[in-house]
Amino acid sequence: MQTPDTMFQDGAAYERMMGRWSQRVGSRFLDWLGVAPGLDWLDAGCGNGAFTEIIAARAAPASLTGIDPSSGQIAFARRRPGAKGANFEVGDAQTLPFAADRFDVSVMALVIAFIPDPARAVAELARVTKAGGLIATYMWDMQGGVPLAPLHRALAAMGHAAPLPPSAPASSLAALETLWRGAGLTEIEVETFPLNVTFDSFDDFWQSNVQPVGPLAAVLRDLPDTERDRLRQHLKESLPTDADGRIAYGALANAVKGRRAGG
């Protein structure tokens, strides 16, 4: 069985697949948080550092720590020029290796659906966050809102299972709010961020989305050549393509934020 640390070992492949979309949504998420400069940040499940880099560039943190179970992703994050001031560690968001009351802001970016026990991870974020501190996350809406949704639909139409992350239901607005309330957080707010996903051509779409990372990687790897060709043709015929060959469609990310009581 694949786990997040094995599904996402290749930081460069993840960057090709998801980096541009995660950073666009991440910038809007950071604006929505509205956090003051000079605070101590935790980016739990930081992956290859795409959102960590945005925090470093735009939030003026006093300190910035990223943690992820994938050593390959952490290695990529450490090489990001814009995240050189951050401290990156290999570790599990469900068992954070930090003392209580350590951070002012604790976030998870595009990760909560991949965590086997989301409630435990949120409780851990609350534990390591100072009283009055901010705890937040955003996640693609797994019910059709992920940028990979056309690939999911095409595989399903061909009779192939398109696996979702282990905690995909946690991506809905209602589920996120329930998790935050269950952790005893206050001042809870939710938001949805629509995103226009665009590709210059079908080749751009294909090369971006068949990277060897994520839940679909094993399915795509094991497809016979004839089925792979059928998949390409199905996508060519079904994707919304303009006269110049550009492809565009919508994606959707859900977000929640709240504060640890006592501040």
SS3 of 6-44: the string is: HHCCCHHHHHHHHHHHHHHHHHHHHHHHCCCCCCEEEEE
What CA–CA distances, in Å, run from 148 to 76, 124, 141, 198?
A: 22, 29, 11, 12
The 10 Å CB-count burial string (b at 16+, else e) for 223-247 is beeeeeebbeebbeeebebeeeeeb
Q: pLDDT band for 110, please (50, 70, 90 cuts).
A: very high
Return mean pLDDT, the chain: 90
Taking residues 24-53, what's their average pLDDT?
A: 94
Distance from chain centroid for Cα 142: 11
Q: What per-residue confidence (pLDDT) applies to 2?
A: 47
Q: pLDDT band for 12, please (50, 70, 90 cuts).
A: low
Do 215 and 164 contact (CB within 8 A), yes or no?
Answer: yes
Where along the chain do its domains lie? 4-143+165-196+252-259
Angle between helix 173-182 and helix 118-128 axes, rounded to 10 deg: 50
CATH superfamily assigned to domain 4-143+165-196+252-259: Vaccinia Virus protein VP39 (3.40.50.150)
Check whether 8 has a pLDDT greater than 90: no
